[in-house]
Structure 1
């Protein structure tokens, strides 16, 4: 990133989902202002109109993006997402998880072609501040069983919608961390990271504030005593797309006004548990022969 706070070179090509509103729109506007080509994906008013809640919509989005990109993407921002809408737990999971993972798998060859592409996925601080999220549901989502996961989530009854939202964001964050360090991602120069916002005044948050649960949203603790803005998040994301982020891989950046630190002051960092020691030692043993070491 240059001193002016821009992605270093103009003329890049970037995929931005959720580009019609909120954080996605703010990112798309910043990138275009910096001289980049943006392929926006959303339901309407963008370059690629697609419904990411359906398999056909996700497939059509991948095909259209690859065609528009001409086989090369310098980066991607996966900002499309749905909030905790009651009765729509299956759609929440489809958009927030599959609308990220399937698109990224589909466009990965184009990202690899750039040699140093950056990917930023929109997570959420709900991953660490929402209680009663079934561990089994998250595991089912990661194992490719969204229908069974949703059945687990709906057992939470009145809490099903916020639990679905948190579970989908937990699953997508873990997917990103697991894949970010793999040979077909980091190994080919793709830097993938997650940004986890707290309350940002987007149309999604406005709808929550105007809903029957608005009072609960307003009572959510934010130590800095103000909400975030799409422009602030776009600033962070532009840094994560810049050369300043060349050494940033598999990280989760929390930008939430202090909520996570307030609720979980000793939640992170934590020491390596003993049960993880065998994997650590095996990984260290394998790293040189697998080429997973720095070239000093």
Structure 2
């Protein structure tokens, strides 16, 4: 049966691969991105988030079956804090009323294996408090310390998003309304974002040392796209609040038997 999906970050990387996969399966996809999509907005801003909800509501005539919130940044900049956490949550919460019209509503977002990397406690608390002004102020401080420290903006935003999914999914608004809410946590995906990292043998070795992926190494975007497609399908009736690491074994190496 054909379903209507909203995919953010639809113009490139995992979002593009997911949109193409769902379209090939006969579904209707409303793509959202900065440019080159059905809905062109900036999810780092309140105005962009509001416009996204308004335009999706108009295009879909007020009813969708699934939200796949992929849009994000990995750069050590303030905008990463806004789009990765507040943009993702605004997408999921803003479109939830449209999901309630579906017979099989689904929602999924993209965290990261970087959620296991070192994080910044002050920034994390600002995320968990829902204080975007404080988060942006702290992210600016991290950004100004250089890219090595600035990377914590990305890892912290992804940890916060994963924790939000874990605590939010079992609530009355989501599980109680029959909406499975989950996340995936990819490791290295071969995309424009990682092109420079894998362009040379030296770069690939350094990346492998930092992010070991013993099962088949870095992946094409279609690999996490397939998991997103299943999580947002009618077949997924009972996964709730799961953060699924699709990472070639990175999580198993880093955490071992500490979690299961």
Structure 2 length normalisation: TM-score? 0.91
Flag the 1:155–1:46 CA change in 2: closer, same or farther, 3 A: closer
Number of matched pairs: 254
Partner of 1:179: 168
Mapped to 2, the partners of 1:30 and 1:225 lie a distance apart of 21
Partner of 2:44: 53
C-alpha contact 1:115 1:188 (8 A) present in aligned 2: no
1:22 aligns with 2:6: no
C-alpha contact 2:86 2:132 (8 A) present in aligned 1: no
1:252 aligns with 2:243: yes
Partner of 1:166: 155
Listed one character per residue, the Cα deviations across residues 227-256 of structure 1 (whole Å, up to 9, x for unaligned) are: 111111111112112233101111111000
Q: CA deviation at 1:148?
A: 2.4
Mapped to 2, the partners of 1:242 and 1:71 lie a distance apart of 19
Instruction: Report 1:180-199 matches (<5 A).
Output: 180-199=169-188
C-alpha contact 1:193 1:252 (8 A) present in aligned 2: yes
Mapped to 1, the partners of 2:154 and 2:237 lie a distance apart of 30
Listed one character per residue, the Cα deviations across residues 181-237 of structure 1 (whole Å, up to 9, x for unaligned) are: 1111111111110000000101112145469x9564353222225211111111111
Q: CA deviation at 1:19?
A: 0.5
2:87 to 99, 105, 114: 99
Mapped to 1, the partners of 2:83 and 2:228 lie a distance apart of 20
Partner of 1:238: 229
Instruction: Report 1:1-296 matches (<5 A).
Output: 9-10=1-2, 12-83=3-74, 85-86=75-76, 88=77, 90-128=78-116, 130-131=117-118, 133-153=119-139, 154-155=141-142, 157-158=145-146, 159-209=148-198, 214=203, 216-220=206-210, 221-269=212-260
Mapped to 2, the partners of 1:65 and 1:236 lie a distance apart of 24
Mapped to 2, the partners of 1:161 and 1:118 lie a distance apart of 33
Larger radius of gyration: 1
Partner of 1:291: none
Listed one character per residue, the Cα deviations across residues 81-122 of structure 1 (whole Å, up to 9, x for unaligned) are: 101x24x1x200111011111121111100111142111101
SS in 2 for 1:182: coil
Q: CA deviation at 1:61?
A: 1.0
Q: CA deviation at 1:63?
A: 0.7
Q: CA deviation at 1:258?
A: 0.6
Q: CA deviation at 1:150?
A: 4.3
C-alpha contact 2:82 2:136 (8 A) present in aligned 1: no
C-alpha contact 1:223 1:262 (8 A) present in aligned 2: no
C-alpha contact 2:6 2:64 (8 A) present in aligned 1: yes
Partner of 1:289: none
SS in 1 for 2:185: strand
Q: Which structure 2 segments of 5+ residues have no match?
A: none
SS in 2 for 1:184: coil
Mapped to 2, the partners of 1:224 and 1:35 lie a distance apart of 31
